[in-house]
Structure 1
């Protein structure tokens, strides 16, 4: 699958949140917001693809955007992308930890 520069930038920034803890959440959020602003203007279909792939809650997104001023749209989307990514990281950690606590006689 071909990724354009903005899509690639968003994915890299989401991964940076996990891999580069020295970057502040606000800095990452601002960079994601900038990439989303570019996608809104240039490739909205790609933006919806990213939202789908990251599994952002569509109902919640629509509700948040319905109440937002137009200049806040990119930041709201960015925040929801980052929050969803954080949820996924927490779930991965939870299941990695519980995987290590399987009694020896129950392991395959």
Structure 2
């Protein structure tokens, strides 16, 4: 068992020293506080990781959606101009034939 680069003998030595320094009555309270702090850190770390993944997915989806190119943006105007020109030429042809 290797936690934080320490084996079982090192951890046992730290526990004995903590028992001598804090006493048997205070040690469970310190353990609970330390456990809550570690748990809070893990929860915050997971939340950060999930948020990061979500943002990365949103950016990736934004890059994958096709955007109209310049030619596609201009094309509707050209079509509309061609339709107006066709309509005008039809009007001139109709007007010319009516005048004759």
Greater RCO, 1 or 2 (C-alpha within 8 Å, sep 6+): 1
TM-score > 0.5, shorter chain as reference: no
Structure number with the higher helix fraction is: 2
Query: What TM-score, normalized to structure 2?
Result: 0.39
